[in-house]
Structure 1
């Protein structure tokens, strides 16, 4: 059994197309999507249309939830741009996504934590950035979820954690479409992988044991940055080109 795990596309259809090309060579039995599918100043509708056709099991991310609810305030520039760009069909698809998916007895899919799509599972926000959370904090955030494999996104940081107390594996595949961002929740901070490559992960079950490999994929990030600039988002353009945010002046 081979499962491809993707997350946080953020409307970057160019990065998604590169991942799809790589998936043809990896030949997974199934592909799962952990959410934040379309929100961003790039190609929301094109991304949504492609994902609708693919029909992957897809979790609702925090941005998916905000956009699907409608009436996004204009000061939320990313989600309001996305709402305006989506067709009625894509809005309906986004609104029908589930907040979590139990893929099997062994695998649980969520965006942030099992109960909160806007919280990090394996990171603590500190001093404007993030550090790896201690095991007891991760266990608290699981809120009793006992699946042997838990797949989450949201932080955009590729990570694999094995919990000593339970043997559970927690996998964050990283982000397909956005390798750095700023957020105000729970306090102002930045996340960055420090390269512009698209990322996803493969879960392989070999004789009852799960193994994980990370995929790091080239794509035309200059085209993505140009589209962000065209849509008035130089901050996104820098993140897409560099994999980190612009330094403070």
Structure 2
């Protein structure tokens, strides 16, 4: 089974449309969205409606959670007063633009999706979260201490944990086995479709293949494919510049941060 997983579109309709074009070429069996449909651009309704139209199983991101409740907070960890002020403009505009129907959809998105595979005589648990299983806006960066990341996955009973929120893709393999028996767990950050922050301005998503050879005993049986795709960045950046959103968000798109 080939699964496409994507996250953090952030109201970037040109990026989402390019993502769908790319996925349609790849013989994918199922698609999941890990949240943050809205914020930072002018198309929160169009993005939400594209997801709804395709009936893609989707969980709430922290921005979706805030907008769903008509809140002035998005749960974002802004570091400076300037970032906080810019963020306030973004959430204010998003709250103005979002339709009642789409706000209700965002409000009722689930926090997690768990998919259990029965492979031969072995179970494999795939857990989809936005930030972490513990908190919707917890940042799990690549340099997270191994002991901490492993504890989070063990407590959540996740053999494969996919998440977003940091907008920086990575894959880490951890061994939680004991008494000489291996049990490999995989932490996979999907990156971002519509607001990359890893200095690569292309959109990013993950293809995960699960088959009869996939096993927690085999470290190399999970090999996520990180797919980068081009999209019309200038269209998305110009839309920001033509709105009251801060122009720095347009430059972030151009620079991949």
Relative to the length of structure 2, the TM-score reads: 0.83
1:143 is displaced (CA, Å) by: 6.3
Distance 1:79 1:102 in 2: 29
| 8 A contact 1:113–1:142 mirrored in 2 | no
Provide the aligned C-alpha RMSD in A: 1.7
Structure index of larger Rg: 2
Q: How does 1:69-84 map to 2 (within 5 A)?
A: 69-72=69-72, 76-84=88-96
Distance 2:109 2:128 in 1: 12
| 8 A contact 2:9–2:38 mirrored in 1 | yes
| 8 A contact 1:114–1:143 mirrored in 2 | no
1:212 is displaced (CA, Å) by: 1.0
Partner of 2:185: 168
| 8 A contact 2:153–2:161 mirrored in 1 | no
1:111 to 130, 133, 136: 130
Partner of 1:182: none
Structure 2 regions of 5+ residues with no counterpart?
74-83, 118-124, 177-182, 215-221
Structure 1 regions of 5+ residues with no counterpart?
124-130, 180-191, 245-249
Partner of 2:165: 154
Partner of 2:49: 49
1:71 is displaced (CA, Å) by: 4.1
Matched, 1:211 2:230: no
Q: How does 1:1-249 map to 2 (within 5 A)?
A: 1-72=1-72, 76-105=88-117, 106-121=125-140, 123=141, 132-142=143-153, 144-165=155-176, 166-179=183-196, 192-209=197-214, 210-232=222-244, 233-244=246-257
**Higher strand fraction (1 or 2):** 1
3-state SS, counterpart of residue 39 of structure 1: coil
| 8 A contact 2:174–2:184 mirrored in 1 | yes
1:142 is displaced (CA, Å) by: 3.6
Relative to the length of structure 1, the TM-score reads: 0.85
3-state SS, counterpart of residue 120 of structure 1: coil
Distance 1:15 1:240 in 2: 10
Distance 1:242 1:152 in 2: 23
| 8 A contact 2:35–2:61 mirrored in 1 | yes
